[in-house]
């Protein structure tokens, strides 16, 4: 009898065992905070410092309590609104600019591209002050637009989309041009459907980035009604003298959309990361 | 349908002139094939007609109108590309219908045209498939369908069969020709394959280095090439060229050193036995290879270092390495000026 491929010697080489072990340990380190978050959210206040992963008396009381708090739902919806709006905006504008840079010859194209790309080198912390001053002068402080405007179009998204649009054969675009479509129609009807993997990756990264964004929303908002979830949760901690089980419950609920996005779209995330040659 | 007229048409890329002031009048309903080697300017000319390249100089008329400044969509032409340009995210029906995307026709008429194009091109059963499920030939037919439904005043084909295998290419050649006979739409077709040019064209335009060398019917170009390039380019296998000094020509109009003698492989006959036929050219050399094609055999010969091809008829297949004499009949020789490469005379 011959070995099945799964049991062949090639598959149980020592090198492979070491790799699997390292990957397992790495995975365990990464997932343990998540497990403790869910575990703590199922504990009562007096069990919080009991570090057992499976609570002695698991309870959903924290979830009921958090969801019953009107502010939490408001922050949840704020985060959802901000993340979805910014994602749609990025998919639209980054693609439009990326397409223009990839498929049109015009004077200064290279300069524009380099200028956009160079903004990637400036850390967010350095941009916050000009953003704040701008928001202040234009009356955007403490508003949804104030939270969203810095991310409505990004250099990263533009770069990603440009790289992908360059792979769309010019003949596709020229054929549509001969068929009578205007440039906007060509972009929308021909080019965009051909870059859906990149568009999906961009949408996922943008959504996740905005869903978890903390620093800028914290600075620009003062009204509690405008807080996004991460900002709201942090205020939760301050005013409630650090009730870890409640914070973990809030965080667990806040994590759900990102988990769902990851699970449903992980194929696109992996492909997007691979094709764009970037880290998430 | 429409006439197309190119007057002193020029295309420059920076300082490089890709098309150097060409003149051509294409009649209404005519099938004109541009042929020439890579980089000769044939595709650039086609793209200027389509409006995909700006015209650097000269005038382009479609019908009675000068269209130099017109956008592609304003020219009412349809184009079929080498890589089909069939959109992978659309079905065949959607791809064909895409040609009518900007049309103001009602939905029923659009559907009728799509169905009709599908029927003419034998794609009825495939209309709801995506391009990934089609063969190369079917994809190219879908691309032709997209061009057809618009009833354009002219069809432009840019090497549409280059990506197909030999058998499919020959089948599609016939289909495109048949389609032209049926629709009688002015057609400009670009290829580097002289067989396509010969079999499909009403007239062939031979281009080289941005110039038109010769325009004529396939027979005219085959029988009466104006220069060595056209003579070599048209006809398969290519015309043999020999320095005058290597030939024993009975009737020559120029001194041997100045001329090159051209003779088509099909006119240079290798026989097993000598013949009494009056010949103008007789060549003796060593057989280096043979290509039996059934009714005839192509014989590769080495004549004092010059490679030529002759034809052996009557099922005669000479042995490789043997010495063979081939002859060409009177009237089948072309005498070219070695410097200008122009045809001097025929003999």
Q: What is the CATH number of the domain that holds B204?
A: 3.40.50.300
Tell me if B291 is assigned to some domain: yes
Q: How many CB atoms lie within 10 A of CB B60?
A: 21
Predicted pLDDT at A140: 93
Distances (CA, A) of B227 to A204, A270, B18, B238, B315: 63, 60, 21, 13, 33
Say whether B311 sits in a helix, a strand or coil. strand
B169 and B313 fall within a common domain: no
Q: A254, A275, A149, A150: which is closest to A201 by C-alpha?
A: A275
Q: Into how many domains does chain B fold?
A: 2
Check if B169 contacts A (Cβ < 8 Å): no
Quick one: tokens of A157? 């998204």
Each residue of B283-321: pLDDT tens digit? 888 999 999 988 899 999 998 888 999 999 888 889 999
B275 and B249 fall within a common domain: yes
B158 and B256 fall within a common domain: no
Predicted pLDDT at A100: 96
Task: Pick the residue from chain A with its C-alpha nearest to B103.
Answer: A180
What percent of the residues of chain B are helix, what percent strand, and what percent coil, each to the nearest 5? 25, 35, 40
B332 and B193 fall within a common domain: no
Tell me if B253 is assigned to some domain: yes
% of chain A exceeding 70 in pLDDT = 90
Tell me if B148 is assigned to some domain: yes
Predicted pLDDT at A1: 42
Check if A178 contacts B (Cβ < 8 Å): yes
Alpha-carbon gap, residue A50 to A55, rounded angstroms: 8
B192 and B58 fall within a common domain: yes
Query: Which chain A residues are within 8 Å of B130, Cβ to Cβ?
Result: none
Residues β-bridged to residue B248: B282
Tell me if B269 is assigned to some domain: yes
Residue B59 is part of which domain span? 4-232
> Domain ends where: B174, B204, B232?
B232
The secondary structure of A103-136 as a DSSP string is H---TTHHHHHHHHHHGGGS-HHHHHHHHHHHHH
> Domain ends where: B186, B208, B232?
B232
Q: A127, A221, A62: which is closest to A230 by C-alpha?
A: A221
Check if B79 contacts A (Cβ < 8 Å): yes
B117 and B147 fall within a common domain: yes
Tell me if B273 is assigned to some domain: yes
Predicted pLDDT at A65: 86
Gyration radius of chain B's alpha carbons: 24
CATH number of the domain bearing residue B285:
2.40.50.140
B220 and B246 fall within a common domain: no
pTM above 0.90, yes or no: no
> Domain ends where: B195, B210, B232?
B232
Tell me if B346 is assigned to some domain: no
* Residue B254's pLDDT band (cuts 50, 70, 90): very low
B314 and B227 fall within a common domain: no
* Residue A125's pLDDT band (cuts 50, 70, 90): confident
Mean pLDDT of A228-257: 82
Each residue of A21-51: pLDDT tens digit? 999 999 999 999 999 999 999 988 888 788 7
| Residue keyed to tokens 């769309």 | A168
Q: ipTM higher than 0.85?
A: no
B220 and B91 fall within a common domain: yes
Task: Pick the residue from chain B with its C-alpha nearest to A180.
Answer: B73
Check if B13 contacts A (Cβ < 8 Å): no
Which of B73, B87, B99 is facing A177, going by the closest CB pair?
B73
B184 and B328 fall within a common domain: no
Say whether B192 sits in a helix, a strand or coil. coil
Alpha-carbon gap, residue A128 to A139, rounded angstroms: 16
Tell me if B106 is assigned to some domain: yes
Q: Compute the count of residue pairs across chains A and B with CB atoms less than 8 Å apart.
A: 60
Tell me if B347 is assigned to some domain: no
* Residue B60's pLDDT band (cuts 50, 70, 90): very high
pLDDT at A67 over 90: no
Omega prior to B237 cis, within 30 of 0: yes
What stretch of H or E contains A147? Answer: helix A144-148
Quick one: tokens of B271? 């026989």
B312 and B260 fall within a common domain: yes
B217 and B316 fall within a common domain: no
Predicted pLDDT at B253: 47
């Amino acid at each position: 009898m011959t070995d099945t491929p799964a049991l062949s010697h090639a598959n149980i080489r020592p090198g492979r065992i070491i790799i699997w072990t390292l990957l397992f340990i790495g995975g365990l380190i990464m997932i343990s905070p998540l497990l403790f978050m869910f575990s703590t959210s199922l504990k009562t206040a007096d069990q919080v410092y009991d570090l057992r992963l499976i609570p002695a008396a698991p309870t959903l009381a924290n979830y009921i309590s958090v969801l019953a708090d009107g502010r939490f739902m408001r922050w949840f919806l704020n985060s959802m609104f901000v993340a979805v709006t910014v994602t749609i905006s990025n998919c639209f504008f980054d693609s439009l600019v990326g397409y223009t840079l990839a498929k049109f010859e015009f004077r200064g194209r290279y300069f524009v591209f380099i200028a956009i790309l160079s903004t990637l080198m400036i850390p967010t912390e350095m941009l916050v002050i000009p953003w704040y001053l701008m928001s202040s002068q234009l009356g955007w402080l403490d508003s949804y637009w104030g939270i969203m405007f810095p991310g409505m179009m990004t250099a990263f998204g533009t770069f990603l989309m440009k790289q992908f649009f360059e792979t769309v054969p010019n003949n596709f675009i020229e054929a549509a041009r001969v068929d009578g479509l205007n440039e906007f129609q060509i972009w929308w009807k021909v080019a965009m459907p051909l870059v859906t993997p990149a568009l999906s990756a961009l949408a996922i990264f943008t959504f996740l980035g905005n869903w978890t964004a903390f620093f800028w929303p914290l600075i620009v908002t003062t009204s509690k009604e405008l807080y996004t979830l991460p900002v709201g949760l942090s205020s939760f901690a301050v005013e409630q003298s650090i009730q870890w089980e409640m914070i973990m419950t809030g965080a667990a609920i806040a994590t759900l959309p990102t988990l769902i996005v990851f699970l449903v779209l992980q194929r696109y995330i992996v492909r997007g990361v691979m094709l764009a040659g970037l880290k998430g | 349908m429409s006439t197309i007229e190119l007057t002193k048409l020029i295309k420059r890329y920076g300082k490089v002139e890709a098309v150097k002031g060409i003149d051509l009048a294409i009649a209404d309903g005519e099938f004109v094939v541009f042929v020439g080697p890579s980089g000769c300017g044939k595709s650039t000319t086609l793209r200027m007609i389509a409006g995909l390249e700006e015209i650097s100089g000269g005038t382009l008329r479609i019908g009675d109108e000068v269209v130099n400044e017109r956008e592609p969509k304003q020219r009412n032409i349809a184009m079929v590309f080498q890589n089909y340009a069939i959109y992978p995210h659309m079905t065949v029906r959607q791809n064909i219908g895409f040609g009518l995307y900007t049309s103001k026709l009602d939905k029923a008429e659009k559907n009728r045209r799509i169905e009709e194009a599908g029927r003419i091109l034998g794609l009825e059963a495939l209309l709801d498939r995506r391009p990934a499920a089609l063969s190369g030939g079917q994809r190219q037919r879908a691309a032709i369908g997209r061009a057809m439904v618009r009833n354009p005043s002219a069809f432009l084909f840019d090497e549409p069969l280059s990506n197909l295998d030999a058998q499919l290419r020959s089948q599609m050649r016939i289909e495109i020709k048949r389609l032209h006979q049926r629709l009688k739409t002015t057609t400009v077709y670009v290829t580097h394959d002289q067989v396509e040019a010969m079999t499909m064209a009403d007239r062939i335009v031979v281009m080289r280095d941005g110039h038109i060398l010769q325009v004529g019917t396939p027979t005219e170009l085959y029988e009466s090439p104006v220069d060595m390039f056209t003579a070599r380019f048209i006809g398969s296998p290519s015309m043999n060229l020999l320095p005058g000094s290597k030939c024993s020509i009975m009737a020559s109009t120029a001194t041997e050193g100045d001329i090159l003698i051209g003779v088509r492989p099909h006119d240079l006959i290798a026989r097993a036995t000598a013949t009494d036929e009056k010949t103008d050219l007789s060549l003796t050399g060593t057989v280096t290879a043979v290509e039996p094609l059934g009714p005839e055999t192509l014989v590769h010969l080495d004549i004092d270092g010059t490679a030529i091809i002759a034809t052996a008829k009557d099922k005669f297949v000479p042995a490789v390495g043997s010495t063979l004499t081939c002859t060409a009949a009177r009237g089948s020789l072309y005498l070219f000026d070695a410097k200008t490469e122009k045809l001097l005379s025929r003999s």
